[in-house]
Structure 1
Amino acid sequence: MKNEKAIVVFSGGQDSTTCLFWALKEFKEVVAVTFNYNQRHSLEIDVATSIAKELGVQHHVLDMSLLNQLAPNALTRTDIEIEHAEGELPSTFVPGRNLVFLSFATILAYQIGAKHIVTGVCETDFSGYPDCRDAFVKSCNVTLNLALDKPFVIHTPLMWINKAETWKLADDLGALEFVREKTLTCYNGIIADGCGECPACKLRKKGLDEYLFKKDAEIR
């Protein structure tokens, strides 16, 4: 028997879409929530909306434009270059983003009677963002439970797997081609395989190539 109601923090990218498929398998009822913080590419909102509609998932889009004002970065400003110098956080880091997203997702969960919150953060293949770490998520979970006096559970299905393993999870869920063809990961706003040049596209392609090579080798 499936668990209870869940909310998926959903951007329409590879990771969150894989988590959406995972949640649809694990939970009886699934709702998606997307945050509009004036992303560099508004297409992200359209992609998330389209995927949720295709999968028959109720979808909320919440206005988080204040985050853009407080934390200007390469994901929200076209005049800021996408850069990642060694030893420094990349220019795509949005300070406090996951703290805000998880807080508002949990508030929404409180309102609609959902106990579970699912997010695609990962500490294995990531860009060094401090709010993608397992310690942060666990701490945030405790704080939100205390703040709302409810036993919410934050799930991170991708936390300890790399990009190749994330592709494998999508494949195991019967969603490999869906994720490959319909998601938007590219920092330059190109759906599916993307521009091939930005850090997000390179990480995505590297993981896909590794997974497909291993899968092909196993078949042979």
Structure 2
Amino acid sequence: MKSEKAIVVFSGGQDSTTCLFWALENFKEVETVTFNYNQRHKLEIDVAESIAKELNVKHTVLDMSLINQLAPSALTRDDIEIEEKDGELPSTFVEGRNLLFLSFAAVLAKQAGARHIITGVCETDFSGYPDCRDVFIKSLNVTLNLAMDHQFVIHTPLMWLDKGETWEMADELGALTFIREKTLTCYNGVIANGCGECPACVLRKKGLETYLQRKGD
């Protein structure tokens, strides 16, 4: 039996689109929220809008461009290289992003009469991002409930999955081809299979190959 209403934090990428399909399976009514934080590729917002429209869910875009002033990163600045160094957070890390996104999603959810918030954060493939950890999500869930006197439930369907298992979930939801062809994960702004070279594309491709190999065995 499907539960009540949910808001999906939605970027139009592989993970959040998998979460959107998961939400449509589990909730009576689903909306999406996308954040404009001056990300390197505005195409991300267009892709999110297009997917939401195709799946017939309400889509809201919120302006969060202030993040770029406070915490510039390779995701928001062309003059910062996309790189990963041992012992350091990747240059794609945006300080406080999930804290702010989930807080604003909660405000939107309460106004929309929703208790459930869904996000695609994942500790298994989290690249060291502190705001993708399960302990952070649980802590924020309690804080939001206290701050807004509302019984939110933050769902993280991908928290303990690696990328291969995320592809497996997409397949089980009947969305494998859709996600392969219509999502934007690439840091260089290439839809579907992406550039094949940036860290996001390498992770996505490796996960897909792992899943397809496992499925074929």
Instruction: Tell me the equivalent position of 2:68.
Output: 68
Q: For structure 2, which runs of at least 5 residues remain unmatched after alignment?
A: none
Instruction: Tell me the equivalent position of 1:196.
Output: 196
> 2:33 aligned with 1:53, yes or no?
no
How do 1:115-126 residues align onto structure 2 when only pairs under 5 Å count? 115-126=115-126
Q: Give the Cα separation in 1 of the matches to 2:104 and 2:178.
A: 28
Q: Give the Cα separation in 1 of the matches to 2:28 and 2:67.
A: 32
Instruction: Tell me the equivalent position of 2:7.
Output: 7
> 2:129 aligned with 1:136, yes or no?
no
Secondary structure class of the residue paired with 2:102: helix
Q: Give the Cα separation in 2 of the matches to 1:179 and 1:126.
A: 20
- 1:89-136 CA-partner distances (Å, limit 9, x unpaired): 000000000000000000000101001000000000121100000000
Instruction: Tell me the equivalent position of 2:111.
Output: 111
Q: CA deviation at 1:60?
A: 0.2
Identical-residue share of aligned pairs (%): 78
Instruction: Tell me the equivalent position of 1:177.
Output: 177
- Give, as a single letter, the amino acid of the residue that structure 2 aligns with 1:42: K
Q: CA deviation at 1:85?
A: 0.4
Instruction: Tell me the equivalent position of 1:40.
Output: 40
Instruction: Tell me the equivalent position of 1:208.
Output: 208
Q: CA deviation at 1:84?
A: 0.7
- 1:13-38 CA-partner distances (Å, limit 9, x unpaired): 00000000000000000000000000
Q: CA deviation at 1:216?
A: 1.0
- Give, as a single letter, the amino acid of the residue that structure 2 aligns with 1:148: M
Instruction: Tell me the equivalent position of 2:84.
Output: 84
Q: Give the Cα separation in 2 of the matches to 1:15 and 1:94.
A: 17
Secondary structure class of the residue paired with 2:84: coil
- 1:37-73 CA-partner distances (Å, limit 9, x unpaired): 0000000000000000000000000000101111110
Q: Give the Cα separation in 2 of the matches to 1:205 and 1:42.
A: 23
Instruction: Tell me the equivalent position of 2:149.
Output: 149
Q: TM-score, normalised by structure 1?
A: 0.98
- Give, as a single letter, the amino acid of the residue that structure 1 aligns with 2:118: V
Q: Give the Cα separation in 2 of the matches to 1:74 and 1:14.
A: 19
Secondary structure class of the residue paired with 2:15: helix
Q: Give the Cα separation in 2 of the matches to 1:213 and 1:125.
A: 19
Q: For structure 1, which runs of at least 5 residues remain unmatched after alignment?
A: none
- Give, as a single letter, the amino acid of the residue that structure 1 aligns with 2:79: D
Q: Give the Cα separation in 2 of the matches to 1:138 and 1:104.
A: 16
Q: Give the Cα separation in 2 of the matches to 1:132 and 1:126.
A: 6
Q: Give the Cα separation in 1 of the matches to 2:57 and 2:146.
A: 29
- Give, as a single letter, the amino acid of the residue that structure 2 aligns with 1:130: P
Q: Give the Cα separation in 1 of the matches to 2:192 and 2:41.
A: 15
- Give, as a single letter, the amino acid of the residue that structure 2 aligns with 1:184: L
Q: Give the Cα separation in 1 of the matches to 2:193 and 2:147.
A: 41
Secondary structure class of the residue paired with 2:21: helix
> 2:17 aligned with 1:17, yes or no?
yes
RMSD of aligned alpha carbons? 0.4
